[in-house]
Structure 1
Amino acid sequence: MRDTLVINCGSSSIKFALIHPQSQTTVVSGLAEKLNETGPLLTVKTARGKETLPLAEQGHAEAMHGILHALESLNLLQDVAAVGHRIVHGGEYFHSATRVNDEVLKAIEACIPLAPLHNPVNLLGLQAALEAFPDLPHVVVFDTAFHQTMPEHAYRYAVPAELYRDHGVRRYGFHGTSHQYVTMKAAEMLGKPLEETCFVSAHLGNGCSITAVKGGQSTDTSMGLTPLEGLVMGTRSGDVDPNLHLFLHQTLGLSIEQITDLLNKKSGLLGLSELSNDCRELEQARLAGHTGASLALEVFCYRLAKYVAAMAVPLGRLDALIFTGGIGENSRFVREKTLSHLGILGLRLDPERNAGLVGGQSGPITLEGGTPALVVGTNEELMIALQTEKVLT
């Protein structure tokens, strides 16, 4: 198989990467941004550097054609053998990556009520790519698919059973491609067969989730029906009392839509700190004595540590804790503070190792002889390319 074009479509952007699956190398990558806004741009990164170009039109279809023309100008278009797409929600329809056909498109559309902010734009990007690359095979890779191995007692909510039977109300989980990739890499780092490992994987970025992975399979995870459940995130609250909705409605007169917006876009690190959702800014502000920033980081790390301990339950033992994502890979403070709560699991920080692992570097950050904590750089685009190749070969 030749190169795979990976597409990750958002509401106002399309990330892309051309990846050679056999060598696991990225040939070219880029971002089309400000779509459906004024002044859309296409940035293309190659080994020779980065170039940013204006897009003549604003929409996703036009951006996809811009990506096509960029590949053509680099004389790479003929190397594209398949297109792999990130789709956020696959419901219970999809347990693995799947080649696109009419039935698959209908199933993705049927999952829109479960991910109304994500699946419509994912589908829009997929349809634009199908038009731009009509002669190539297309494969969809779902954030939720990796978690379809969770047992029923882990994914069911304690609500009337008819809500699950009739409306699919259950826990689905997200960041599946990231958790799958980093646990695979962690097994390699420890020199253990993946099927014999028990890992807790913490994907920490603006969105955060934690997953218990046993033998390479997800057994429990922090996100639920939507990506709002679980850990404290950049602007998302994570777990709150479900009756908070009623309290805010009765006390402040807020509508369901306003409360949902508050919990998704105005809470988390941003809401607690009243300053920023960016962990780097909060760490600097903490050092300068900002009490809100200090509190936000304390809550973030404490909640994370509680979830790490909880995720050890379905595993039975813990071979390693994995930190990944933008915060997990770069925040020495978050890793140190989180481990300070986890002595009960045998996790003992090595300050020197922890200080040295930033900027995409991978390795252990704990002392020898105890349970290891590892920093593992994630690569969701590569995971999508590998799964696309697997489907097509």
Structure 2
Amino acid sequence: MTQIFVVNSGSSSIKYQLVDLETEEAVLSGLVERIGEPGSDIPDHEAGMRGVLELLGTEHDITAVGHRVVHGGSLFASATLITDEVEAQIEQLSALAPLHNPANLLGIRAAKVALPNVPHVVVFDTAFHQTLPHAAYTYAIDAKLAETYGVRRYGFHGTSHKYVSEQAALFLERPLEELKTIVLHLGNGASVAAIDGGKSVETSMGMTPLEGLVMGTRSGDIDPAALIHLHRQAGLSFDDLDTMLNRHSGLLGLTGNGDMRDVQAAALAGDDLAEEALAVYRHRIRRYIGAYIAHLGGLDAIVFTAGVGENNSLLRRRTLASLEFLGISVDNDRNELHSKQARYISPDGSPVAVLVIPTNEELEIARQTAALVG
């Protein structure tokens, strides 16, 4: 039995899943929280990892450990065996992801201590988007400055976009290499990717996960001059702006509530502010859909995934409304069906297949880990 232990480490948490690759099912999963916090019984990540392994017990034969790391910069385009050099590179890349990479490293080091005799593999959120063409990842600023400080589009949610686009090809029973697909990963964090023949050619998140779509608490696209204006006129510091854009914007900034379910419930109850916020949310998605059809030169499938994308039928229907001229339409009955399975929500014979496919980033990490270690 091949079992891959998948680890997603945060600054005070360890999310884990044990995946049996023969069945592609999670044998066990869980979350350790409040690591190192006052009053916690878990002083550090090593103690947390020991506790997880005690819970797993000796009956589980772990073949390898797959770790999620958010930022691989331009250095990593695929899953990579963890060495001391790779750890050092992940640490160096913390400048690009200061809230994520250091926390991911804590999990890597704790797992290596707890499981020293199995291979450890890292799968980067950014890796799938390393196929972006130069024109797509380049910002039009001073080229030397950008190169020195790593300022370019990297893209995120790559593990999800890869998994879902491949599942779409399987579902449609068509070769991945011939498909032009737009994947909408809509959760509290949200991004869209244009995928041509299995390769990412455009994506909405940029140097950081802040750019792109409206999200739960993140602003998405904004004119940089607006931030200069707020700095000069409102006296907001760079730290204030950082906090505002990442933690107090998006749906939260527009309505006071960052949870899509609550915002939609308020809109349905007649709250004009909530309805206006949802209009902004949908408008941004539609803008990217139009742009990505142009980049792809056509479209075979649009796929909704992640928490909002998989579960919010009203959002799906309203987002794609009146796009029939592009071959995109939604069958209302199919769209209202609740299921954890991949499914069509477009009518029979529609030129563009509109799908809902649940994402499974842990399984994708497990697959890539197993493929690398053989």
Q: Same fold (TM over 0.5)?
A: yes
| Residue of structure 1 equivalent to 2:36 | 36
Deviations 1:342-373 (A, max 9, x none): 33321111110000035x33211111222111
Residue 26 of structure 1 aligns to a residue whose secondary structure is strand
Cα distance 1:285–1:58, how it changes in 2: closer, same or farther (>3 A)? farther
Deviations 1:358-389 (A, max 9, x none): 5x332111112221110000000000000000
**Matches for 1:117-136 after TM superposition, within 5 Å:** 117-136=99-118
**Contact between 2:187 and 2:215, CA under 8 Å: does it hold in 1?**
yes
* Counterpart-to-counterpart distance in 1, 2:348 and 2:142: 48
CA-CA distance at 1:174 after TM superposition: 0.2
**Contact between 2:91 and 2:105, CA under 8 Å: does it hold in 1?**
yes
Residue 224 of structure 2 aligns to a residue whose secondary structure is coil
The counterpart of 1:108, out of the listed 50, 72, 90, is 90
RMSD, aligned CA: 1.2
CA-CA distance at 1:38 after TM superposition: 4.5
| Residue of structure 2 equivalent to 1:312 | 293
**Contact between 2:71 and 2:126, CA under 8 Å: does it hold in 1?**
yes
| Residue of structure 1 equivalent to 2:265 | 284
| Residue of structure 1 equivalent to 2:59 | 76
| Residue of structure 2 equivalent to 1:252 | 234
**Matches for 1:32-71 after TM superposition, within 5 Å:** 32-38=32-38, 40=40, 56-71=41-56
Output the amino acid matched with 2:226.
Answer: L
* Counterpart-to-counterpart distance in 2, 1:357 and 1:185: 19
Output the amino acid matched with 1:101.
Answer: T
Output the amino acid matched with 1:16.
Answer: Y
CA-CA distance at 1:323 after TM superposition: 0.2
The counterpart of 1:146, out of the listed 118, 128, 131, is 128
* Counterpart-to-counterpart distance in 2, 1:28 and 1:259: 40
Deviations 1:299-333 (A, max 9, x none): 11111111111111221111100000000000011
* Counterpart-to-counterpart distance in 1, 2:210 and 2:141: 18
Cα distance 1:31–1:306, how it changes in 2: closer, same or farther (>3 A)? same
The counterpart of 2:354, out of the listed 373, 382, 388, is 373
The counterpart of 1:236, out of the listed 194, 211, 218, is 218
* Counterpart-to-counterpart distance in 2, 1:348 and 1:298: 19
* Counterpart-to-counterpart distance in 2, 1:29 and 1:116: 27
Residue 227 of structure 1 aligns to a residue whose secondary structure is coil
CA-CA distance at 1:175 after TM superposition: 0.3
**Contact between 1:13 and 1:35, CA under 8 Å: does it hold in 2?**
yes
* Counterpart-to-counterpart distance in 1, 2:180 and 2:191: 17
Residue 6 of structure 1 aligns to a residue whose secondary structure is strand
* Counterpart-to-counterpart distance in 1, 2:59 and 2:320: 45
* Counterpart-to-counterpart distance in 2, 1:65 and 1:190: 43
User: Would you say how many aligned residue pairs link Structure 1 and Structure 2?
Assistant: 373
Q: Does 1:169 pair with 2:151? A: yes
Output the amino acid matched with 1:380.
Answer: E
**Contact between 1:273 and 1:292, CA under 8 Å: does it hold in 2?**
yes
* Counterpart-to-counterpart distance in 1, 2:372 and 2:247: 36
| Residue of structure 2 equivalent to 1:97 | 79
* Counterpart-to-counterpart distance in 2, 1:180 and 1:342: 25
* Counterpart-to-counterpart distance in 1, 2:268 and 2:124: 40
CA-CA distance at 1:59 after TM superposition: 2.3
* Counterpart-to-counterpart distance in 1, 2:224 and 2:73: 22
**Contact between 1:302 and 1:341, CA under 8 Å: does it hold in 2?**
no
Q: Which stretches of structure 1, 4 residues or more, deviate above 3 A after TM superposition?
A: none
The alignment's TM-score, normalised by the length of structure 2, stands at 0.97
Residue 320 of structure 2 aligns to a residue whose secondary structure is helix
| Residue of structure 2 equivalent to 1:2 | 2
Q: Does 1:198 pair with 2:180? A: yes
CA-CA distance at 1:63 after TM superposition: 1.1
Output the amino acid matched with 2:202.
Answer: D
**Contact between 2:34 and 2:42, CA under 8 Å: does it hold in 1?**
no
Percent of pairs identical after alignment?
50
Q: Does 1:383 pair with 2:364? A: yes
User: Which blocks of at least 5 consecutive residues in structure 1 are unaligned?
Assistant: 41-55
Residue 63 of structure 1 aligns to a residue whose secondary structure is helix
**Contact between 1:4 and 1:80, CA under 8 Å: does it hold in 2?**
yes
Q: Does 1:322 pair with 2:307? A: no
Q: Does 1:16 pair with 2:16? A: yes
Cα distance 1:285–1:161, how it changes in 2: closer, same or farther (>3 A)? same
| Residue of structure 2 equivalent to 1:51 | none
Deviations 1:100-140 (A, max 9, x none): 00111111011111111110101111111111111111000
Deviations 1:248-302 (A, max 9, x none): 111210101100110000000111112x111111111111111221111111111
Q: Which deviates further from its counterpart, 31-40 or 202-211?
A: 31-40
| Residue of structure 2 equivalent to 1:49 | none
**Contact between 2:11 and 2:103, CA under 8 Å: does it hold in 1?**
yes
**Contact between 2:154 and 2:206, CA under 8 Å: does it hold in 1?**
yes
* Counterpart-to-counterpart distance in 1, 2:13 and 2:354: 34
CA-CA distance at 1:99 after TM superposition: 0.5
Deviations 1:176-201 (A, max 9, x none): 00000000110011110111111000
Output the amino acid matched with 1:250.
Answer: R
